Amino acid sequence: MEREDFIRLASPGGQLLLEELDYSSDTDVLKLVARLRKAGHDPLTVAAALTQAKLRKRAIAKFGDFANRMLFTEAGLEQASRLKVAALHAGRFRTAGISQVADLGCGIGAEAMAMAALDLEVRAFEIDEVTAAVATYNLAPFENVTVELADVQKLDLGQFESLFFDPARRDLKGAKKASAKRIFDPANYSPNFEFCLDAARKKPAGIKVGPGHDHRHIPKDAEAQWVSIDGDLVELGLWFGSVKREGVVRSALLIDSNGHHEITSSESASYNAPVGELAKYIYEPDNSLIRSRLISDFAKPLGLQIISADIAYLTSDEKISSPWVRGFEIVDNLVFDRKQLKAYVKKNGIGILEIKKRGSDISPEDLRRELSPKGEGAATLIVTRVDDAHRVLVTQPIS
């Protein structure tokens, strides 16, 4: 979002237009724009409002109904925590008896919203002018939040009771900064990762980073928690001081419709689960288990084994029911040969085809087109390595 776009949207006319704008994925945008311009709305305000309407639709997955009363930037929405995860962050501070949090790099204000809702006093800081204005707009209903435009690396952090960092990990590129490009090097975060670590070791603090954060950059004095929502791995949280849980060094947290599920470890590393022969069932672990390297902590008590040393598929002759895995019964174990596989799909009338891969460089989308599935049957193909051999496992999901 450009500065001028925010000014237009914050104006009385822009607010009225946002309130009245009826947009969905089925909307004929050209007709909608023509109708709004005919009604006398400024073309630039119409364009800005339409962009916001699209962002609001995307934001429902993270913010629910709150999204319809918020403003967003492209990068801000991409990086913003889902409210249910932000609420967990806020809960750590409240449980630790903390009353004030400095939200350092507040983005569009998601974390500050959750903290304020738990009656914490929040001082939110953002280096980008437009993003700070958006955060101010979104946080206006809360009297216990202030938003300030500042470079957090120039603040005296000793004045705050506790700290929360969500360093920027995206750059906006393209015309009018239309797309967000991810940054993977922690040295290029804003503020940079070493600055965040140094500050976090002096106060009760949390640092939110991407779930693919390199294990080499995870400090041993932090609690590291990978969070997954309905199988979507959303973040890695690093926790210090009194907001770090005693005896927990790593954890995988899965949030689904049935509640919260967690596996924890007091060790910074775990041995892998034992390698075993491919059995009757194969299981795909939740990504939080994979990234946290807690697969063995889950698998060993259940007698599950991995199918290959570096492949995160588990196997067993027993049917396992767990929120942590998606299970499949193996129907056929085939050599990976595209011609033979296409003939197999045709012979068995497989028209509904899910393709998974691990340890293979195939493109599931390209392979599906090549196999030309037709028919009433359904199957899940798992393309992987078994005993270092390239195999295709024809499976059916366990109900």
**Beta-carbon count within 10 A of 363 CB:** 12
Report if residue 276 sits inside a domain.
no
pTM for this prediction:
0.89
Can you tell me the mean pLDDT for 26-49?
85
Higher pLDDT, 42 or 122: 122
Q: What is the mean pLDDT of residues 312-327?
A: 95
Percent of all residues in the chain with a pLDDT value above 70, rounded to a whole number: 96
324-336 pLDDT, tens digit per residue, is 999 999 999 999 9
* pLDDT the model gives residue 353: 96
Separation of alpha carbons 290 and 304, rounded Å: 15
Q: Are residues 103 and 247 in the same domain?
A: yes
* Cα–Cα distance, 282 to 391 (Å, whole number): 13
Q: Is pLDDT at 158 greater than 50 in this prediction?
A: yes
Q: What was the pLDDT predicted at 174?
A: 44
**Who has greater pLDDT, 32 or 247?**
247
Q: Who has greater pLDDT, 186 or 241? A: 241
Say yes or no: 223 and 354 in one domain.
Answer: no
| 365, part of any domain | yes
The whole-number average pLDDT for the span 248-274 is 93
Q: Where are the alpha helices (DSSP H) in the chain?
A: 3-10, 12-20, 29-38, 43-63, 74-79, 83-95, 110-117, 129-138, 193-200, 287-292, 295-299, 338-347, 364-371
Nearest to residue 263, comparing CAs of 212, 325, 204, 311? 325
Please state, rounded to an integer, the average pLDDT across all residues of the chain: 92
Q: Which band of pLDDT confidence, cut at 50, 70 and 90, is reported for residue 175?
A: very low
Last residue of a domain, one of 265, 292, 316: 265
Residue 178: pLDDT band with limits 50, 70, 90: very low
Does residue 363 fall inside a structural domain?
yes
| Residue after which a domain boundary falls, among 265, 300, 315 | 265
State both tokens at 103.
């939200």
| Under 8 Å between Cβ of 8 and 48 | yes
Domain that holds residue 341: 281-397
Domain assignment present for 270: no
Provide mean pLDDT across the span 66-80: 93
For the cut 50, the answer to whether the pLDDT of residue 187 exceeds it is yes
How does residue 183 score in pLDDT terms, banded at 50, 70 and 90? low
**Is the same domain home to 150 and 248?**
yes
Query: What pLDDT digit, counting tens, does each position of 344-354 carry?
Result: 999 999 999 99
Report pLDDT for 118: 97
Co-location of 110 and 173 in the same domain: yes
Alpha carbons 212 and 234: distance in angstroms, whole number: 9
